[in-house]
Amino acid sequence: MTIQPAIEIKNVSKVFKIFKDRPLTLKEKLLNLRSDAYTPFYALKNVSFAINKGESIGLIGHNGCGKSTLLSIIARILYPTGGTVKVNGRLSCLIELGAGFHPDFTGRENIYMNAAIFGMTKKEINKNIDAIIDFSELKEFIDNPVRTYSSGMYLKLAFSVAIHVDPEILLIDEILAVGDSNFQKKCFDKMKEFRRKRVTIVLVTHSLSSITEFCDRCLWLQDGVIRKEGSPKDVTDEYLQFMTGIQNAPKNQPSGYAQDAEIKDFSLQNKQGQRIETGLNANDNLTAEVSVLKKERSGPLKISLKFLSADNALLGETNTEKINFENQELKKIIFNVTNIPLNSGSYQVLACVDNENNQESCPAKELCLKINSERTSPGLVSLKYDWTTENL
Amino acid sequence: MKDAYKPINAIKEIFNYRELLISLISKTLNARYKGSFLGFLWTFINPIMQLIIYTLVFKYIFKVPEDNYAMFLFVALLPWTSFLSAVNGSLDSIIGSSSLVKKIYFPRLILPLSISLTFIIDYLYCIPILFIVMLAAKMKITLWLLLFPVILLIQFIYQTGLCFIFSSINVKFRDVRQIVIVATMAWLYLTPVLYKIEMIPDKYSFFGNIVNPRLWLGILNPMTGIINSYRDVFYYGSSPDFLFLGISCAAAVITLFIGYITFNYFERTFAEDL
């Protein structure tokens, strides 16, 4: 017997018809009062892939690349224009939470209603109702009408119902940021529990770190086609490089900057003085050269170098004291960072210039720093350690 | 994907989602009179008010020659009201749940089906009242009443088919709503609810029986057979006209089938059209 994949997608396309002037009523349709003409928009073009049972897949891509359309098609909310979708197993989707909540009904009544929409029977709901209420942390409010809930409470309740459906396949669209940090941690733990239970998970998110943490495989969608498929680390690295490239492309008229200085050049070099293209080995030294041109009246500038993770979390910063510049003076600032304590992966390095009023002088220049390491361990920071055992 | 269109799979799926069907029906029944003074009593007050008005007009002004016109009307008015409310109510069943349809998958057929069932249940609530009134009016109760569930089933099949058709087309073409409301108003007079079908004069028949309005109303309007059968078993205590009931039954099944196909056709783009 061959193992059936949990989700099998073959040559799926989705065309949205963008009507200029669609006939909205039968009268208009029959009398031809409005034209049927439309421009097709290809949200997905011949996408094919399969997801095995128990696999976690991450879907990434910029806004409008077709991620959510793909998820909606798997969830059977939208029908594909062409191709076939096969789903084996009970599916729960966390696409939009709290859909179908009735504001006048109590939390408890809404749990029953919402669970029924997910296809649970009364027996199953009764079995799970205590767990749902416990998880939502809304015990005192559960018999109040939902319209009295805050939006955070509302989402917590909705999330609790959705994850107690006991799914075999779970579709998640960018909703892990629910509630306070305590509740978020609970949600993450629940996701990990699902993963241990070999629930098939499809995760759509912009948080690249949750992709590398959760997923076995990653798909990068761009303009309706799969641009890259592979291990989360490889795909997110390339995705990040691609997105950095887009950001550095010249933009029209950046605003809000003091415009009194300009970064002429920014480069990263290894200790041999070579520009980094293939990447830097872990725990190597890094040299960064920033050339700054002072444009208007003289005054001190502060130049800083920021290290960011793929999720734009600030990992570290090095900066100069205030440096005095003459008008139209060009200076090269060289930073030496020793023993970069980062794990293998892609990071962003930003060069920024601030003037004496702590205002940003010009847009930051951004480079992608790829760290190579033979040892791969989870997390961003590479820890230096040894270990011993002791007999007790 | 092709398998999903087989009716047997649709029935299986609806069965799996029975809890949703039940909670939708109870939500409609409970929410309808929530916050109203007389509450659940409105279920009975509506048909009784209609009964009083129609009886006054048709018995005393138009002078319909029927001994017990109130009862004659009552047994037909109850199922007609249920039918009419279901068909009109289903029009907004998909549009009204757009937030659900756009976000969660569940068998969409459940939405119009729940409306159809809600009004069948509404009708059943009125049946005890009907029996009390029948006993008070000293009407004869015969074994033909055992056919009541059969007639009700035919009505249910027919109105569910119509609910499928109208609810799904109305998503794409929003003026279907107005058309249906006007059509059902005329439909009341094309169905022998307020009058007896025998009252249509013979002078409107041409070419022998070929253009006989009484015959054609029975053939073209499935509600004629259904309403007449209710009246036969409740009011006259006699056997229904099995020929017309059979025609209605066949029409009901065909309507349900057409409704299913129509619904499947329009269902594919619900999430985009809403």
Subunit contact A99:B175, Cβ cutoff 8 A: no
Task: Please give the Cα distance from A259 to A354 (Å, whole number).
Answer: 10
Residue range A61-86, pLDDT digits in tens: 888 888 888 888 988 888 888 888 98
Among chain B residues, the shortest Cα distance to A73 is held by B105
Q: Which of A120, A128, A96, A102 minimizes the C-alpha distance to B22?
A: A120
For residue A144, the distance in angstroms to the closest alpha carbon of chain B comes to: 16
Residue ranges of the alpha helices (H) in A166-260?
A: 181-196, 208-214, 232-248
- Residue among A238, A234, A355 at smallest CA distance from A303: A355
Would the pLDDT of A119 be above 50?
Answer: yes
Pick the closest to residue B23 from B127, B98, B117 (CA basis).
B117
Q: Which residue of A has its CA nearest to B172?
A: A24
Give phi and psi for A229, each to the nearest 5: -140, 135
**Mind telling me how many Å the CA of A28 is from chain B's nearest CA?**
9
Return phi, psi of residue A289, to 5°. Answer: -115, 125
* Secondary structure (DSSP) of A283-348: T--EEEEEEEEE-SS-EEEEEEEEEE-TT--EEEEEE---EEE-TT-EEEEEEEE-S--B-SEEEE
How many CA atoms, within 13 angstroms, populate the side-chain half-sphere of residue A391? 0
Q: How far is it, in rounded angstroms, from Cα B191 to Cα B143?
A: 26
Element (H, E) at B24: helix B18-32
Tokens of B138: 């000293």
Q: Do A119 and B99 touch (CB under 8 A)?
A: no
**Taking the CB of residue A45, how many other CB atoms lie within 10 A of it?**
16
Question: Which positions in chain B touch A119 (Cβ < 8 Å)?
Answer: 16-17, 19-20, 106
pLDDT tens-digit readout, A220-238: 988 888 888 888 888 888 8
Contact A112 B18 (CB under 8 A): no
pLDDT confidence of residue A1: 46
A:B CB pairs within 8 Å: 78
Return the pLDDT at B224.
Answer: 92
Flag if B174 and A116 touch (Cβ within 8 Å).
Answer: no
The stretch A149-156 carries a mean pLDDT of 83
B106 contacts on A by Cβ (under 8 Å) = 117-119
Q: A334-348, A367-381, B103-117: which range is least confident on average? A: A367-381
pLDDT of B254:
96
* Closest CB to A99 among B31, B104, B176: B104
Tokens in use for A42? 């290809």
* Lowest-pLDDT choice from A73-77, A360-364, B166-170, B261-265: A360-364
Q: Does the structure show a pLDDT above 80 at B212?
A: no
Question: Which structure tokens are listed for A93?
Answer: 């989707």
Among B99, B175, B271, the residue with its CB nearest the CB of A100 is: B99
Task: Look at residue B1 and tell me whether its pLDDT is greater than 50.
Answer: no
Which residues in chain B are contacts of A102 at CB distance < 8 A?
Answer: 27, 31
Q: Which residue of B has its CA nearest to A87?
A: B1
Q: Tokens for B198, please give them.
A: 């025998």
Partner residue opposite B105 with nearest CB, options A75, A105, A112 = A75
Chain B contacts of A78, Cβ < 8 Å? 271-272
Residues of chain B contacting A, Cβ within 8 Å? 1, 16-20, 22-23, 27, 31, 34, 97, 99-106, 173-176, 179, 268-269, 271-272
Distances (CA, A) of A370 to A278, A364, B33, B251: 7, 19, 65, 71
Contact A305, A335 (CB under 8 A): yes
Contact state of A29 with B104 under an 8 Å Cβ cutoff: no
Candidates B27, B103, B268; nearest CB to A95: B103
pLDDT grade for B272, boundaries at 50, 70 and 90: confident
* Per-residue pLDDT tens over the stretch B255-269: 999 999 999 999 988
Q: Which contiguous run of DSSP H or E holds residue A19?
A: strand A7-19
Beta carbons within 8 Å of A129's beta carbon, 6+ residues apart? A108, A111
Q: Which residue is it, tokens 């509302």?
A: A154
Q: Do A26 and B16 touch (CB under 8 A)?
A: no
| Tens of pLDDT, residues A229-281 | 888 888 888 888 888 776 666 555 567 777 788 888 888 888 777 777 667 77
Give me the pLDDT at residue A179, please. 63
pLDDT band at A364 (very low <50, low <70, confident <90, very high): confident
Contact B20 A91 (CB under 8 A): no
| Cβ–Cβ under 8 Å, residues A146 and A108 | no
- Which residue in chain A is spatially nearest to B24 when comparing CA positions? A113
Each residue of A261-297: b (16+ CB within 10 Å) or e? bbbeebebbbeeeeebeebbebebebbbebbbbbbee
Of the pLDDT bands very low, low, confident and very high (cuts 50, 70, 90), residue B124 is: very high
Task: Identify the band that residue A154 occupies on the pLDDT scale cut at 50, 70 and 90.
Answer: confident
Task: Give the one of A25, A100, A115 whose C-beta lies nearest to B173's C-beta.
Answer: A25
Q: Please state the ipTM of this predicted complex.
A: 0.77
Q: Is the pLDDT of residue B115 over 90?
A: yes
CA dist B113 and B117 (Å) reads 6
Which residues in chain A are closer than 8 Å to B18, comparing Cβ atoms? 121
Share the mean pLDDT of chain B.
87
- Calculate the CA A62 to chain-centre distance: 9
Search chain A and give the residue with CA nearest B101: A77
Residue of B nearest to A101 (CA): B100
- Rounded to a whole number of angstroms, the distance from the CA of A122 to the nearest CA of chain B is 6
Q: What are the CA-CA distances from residue B24 to residues A162, B7, B20, B28 (Å)?
A: 19, 22, 6, 6
Contact A25 B27 (CB under 8 A): no
Which strands, in side-by-side order, build the sheet including A7-19? A38-51, A7-19, A82-87
**A345-369 b/e with 16+ CB inside 10 Å = b?**
bbbbbbbbbbbeeeebbbbbbbbbb
Burial of A391 (0-12, 13-18, 19+ CB in 10 A): exposed
pLDDT greater than 60 at residue B2: no
pLDDT tens per residue across span B5-64: 678 888 888 888 888 899 889 888 877 766 666 667 777 788 788 888 888 888 888 888
Mean pLDDT of A147-153: 85
pLDDT band at A177; cut points 50, 70, 90: low
CB contact under 8 A, A77 and B271: yes
Q: What SS3 state is found at A128?
A: helix
Average pLDDT over residues A360-384: 79
Q: Mean pLDDT lowest for which of A78-92, A324-338, B37-51, B145-159?
A: B37-51
CA quadruple B79, B82, B84, B87: dihedral, nearest 10: -130
Set of chain A residues whose Cβ sits within 8 Å of the Cβ of B109 = none
**Chain A residue set in contact with B, beta carbons under 8 Å:** 16, 23-27, 29, 72, 75-79, 84-85, 91, 93, 95-96, 99-100, 102, 104-105, 112-113, 115-122, 125
What gap in Å lies between CA A163 and CA A183, rounded to an integer?
Answer: 13
Of B100, B102, B179, the CB nearest to A117: B100
Chain B residue with Cα closest to A97: B103
**pLDDT at residue B3 is higher than 60:** no
Task: Select from B27, B101, B105 the Cβ nearest to the Cβ of A113.
Answer: B27
The pLDDT assigned to B255 comes to: 96
Q: What are phi and psi of B153, to 5 degrees?
A: -65, -40
Task: Please tell me the predicted confidence (pLDDT) of residue B42.
Answer: 76
* Percentage of chain A exceeding pLDDT 90: 1
Report CB contact under 8 Å: A112, B23: yes
Contact: A117, B102; criterion CB under 8 Å: no
